[in-house]
Structure 1
Amino acid sequence: MPTASVARSAYGDDPSQYGELYLPARIPLATVVVVHGGYWAQGFGAEAMRPMCQALQAEGYAVWNLEYRRVGGTGGWPMTFEDVAAGIDHLDTFDTVDAGDVRLVGHSAGGQLAVWAASRRDTTPGGPSAVTVTRCLSLAGVLDLTGASRQGLGSGNVDLLMGGTPADVPDHYDVGDPTRLVPAGCPVACLVGRDDEVVPRSQSDAYVAAARSAGAPVTLDEVPGDHSALIGPESRAWPTVLRRLGEKLRT
């Protein structure tokens, strides 16, 4: 009988290139990659997602809590994107997880990175995914980087992440902005907090509109609570997160 465990594993040489692998005390239902937010800034790290990881582990999922290089450290364009791609692909090196059913969950700036990773292709940093991504959840994601830059969200961190504004480096936004990369390679579920004052709902609305125009499977739920409620296992938003993560896939 398997026992629950947590172990750290590096996928690169930089101190920020690692993940924490949570294994449940059973054969995992699926593999969930969790990507933290913080407007891509150094100083916000994977520790914020540990309560969520523990809750998903208890539900029977294998969970990979992914850290990556960030703005203000050694991240930015294209390093942050390359890290997320490499960190997800690193799952293929484990014999304890199912790389054929990988579900991505990202919060805030991590929502952008998760939906971007679900949209990887030949032209994006890191190339196509080496694992099979079957579903993606954006929890209050910054999904419209072009709009976020123009609005100055994150005190200018969008431009720092991307190496400039959409006018300065349109080619970066073409392969880094999730709203420009529809359709994603799997169904995407967007969740927003009713009282979120950190990332406006318009970010998810813009992505959903673009995805629907492209004929992509996408949903949008407004749930009770603020920005942080979406990652709180004790919150009223949490049942919707679990439902969207575990529901039968639609293509």
Structure 2
Amino acid sequence: MPAIGDIALIHGGYWRPEYDRAHLRPFAQALADAGWRTHLVEYRRIPGKPDATIEDIKSALDAIGECIVIGHSAGGHLALAVHSHESVRAVIALAPVSDLVVGDAENYDGGAISEFLGEPATERLDINPQSNPLTKPAVLIHGHDDIRVPVSQSRNFLSAHPAAGYIELEATGHFELIDPRHDTFKLIITELKKFA
């Protein structure tokens, strides 16, 4: 049976070198089992070199071709940051860090944003999704009880980008969104089919 379509799946981990894509393998496999050709994207995570990270994501998109991008946490940031790439049909951002400026000011994960950027987030509005227009279909999904990336990130993104879809899940934290055994997986599949 042919694949429904291609997914570029981007992992989180606050862009830190120690967090690679391995934790997303069960989620990627579940997407593949649901009929999607799933590309689990890896990228350089070099503190102070965000352009290398963005370059790797864009190179992956060039290689994959037309796809839906799913990103979780910092991967949600990257998905939104590159959403205008010609290969991207739509974005599903799971608990995304969508406003680097606020996250930097609030010192998310002990300074993860300033470590990633190597400078204040106010100097890199070009890769701050909150600061840029949304030009492709996107839906954000966030758990109400997320303590890793505050739900206010997605709420504020929606206020600035009312064309985006938004689903807020009660009694849901950060990692349930990438657990294929959790009810949220069915919701993600439903959203994917809207963009197929």
Specify if TM > 0.5: yes
In 1: Cα distance, 2:179 partner to 2:147 partner: 16
Q: Structure 2 unaligned runs (5+)?
A: none
In terms of fraction of residues, the more helix-rich structure is 2
Q: How many Å apart are 1:208 and its aligned residue?
A: 1.1
C-alpha RMSD of matched pairs (Å): 1.6
Matches of 2:194 and 2:86, distance apart in 1: 24
Residue 55 of structure 1, CA deviation: 0.6
CA displacement at 1:211 relative to structure 2: 0.9
Counterpart CA distance in 1 for 2:46 and 2:63 is: 22
The 5 A counterparts of 1:39-188 are: 39-72=14-47, 76-91=49-64, 99-100=65-66, 102-119=67-84, 129-131=85-87, 133-167=88-122, 170=123, 172-173=124-125, 175-183=126-134, 185-188=135-138
Percent sequence identity is: 28
Q: TM-score, normalised by structure 1?
A: 0.74
Residue segments in structure 1 that go unaligned for 5+ positions in a row: 1-25, 92-98, 120-128
**Which amino acid is the alignment partner of residue 33 of structure 2?**
A
The equivalent residue for 2:173 is 226
Determine if contact 2:89/2:195 at 8 Å carries over to the other structure: no
Displacement of 1:181 in angstroms is: 1.5
Partner of 1:29: 4
> What's the TM-score, normalizing by structure 2?
0.93
Would you say 1:200 and 2:150 are equivalent positions? yes
Structure 2 match to 1:235? 182
The structure number with the bigger radius of gyration is: 1
2:91/2:137 contact within 8 Å kept:
yes
For residues 141 and 87 of structure 1, what CA distance do their matches in structure 2 show?
A: 20
Distance 1:110 1:162 in 2: 15
Give the whole-Å Cα distance in 2 for the aligned partners of 1:144 and 1:245.
24
How big is the shift at 1:71?
Answer: 3.5
SS in 2 for 1:78: helix
Instruction: Rate the CA distance shift 1:83–1:248 in 2: closer, same or farther, 3 A.
Output: closer
Aligned length: 195
Deviations 1:107-152 (A, max 9, x none): 0000000111113xxxxxxxxx352x11101100000111111111
In 2, distance between residues paired with 1:107 and 1:166? 20
SS at match of 1:244: helix
**How far is 1:76 from its partner?**
2.3
Change (3 A) 1:28 1:71: same
Cα deviations by residue, 1:142-184 (Å, 9 ceiling, x for unpaired): 00111111111121121122221134xx2x22x100111222x
Q: Is the Cα contact below 8 Å between 2:90 and 2:195 reproduced in 1? A: no
- Tell whether 2:160 aligns with 1:210: yes
Give 1:243 shift: 1.2
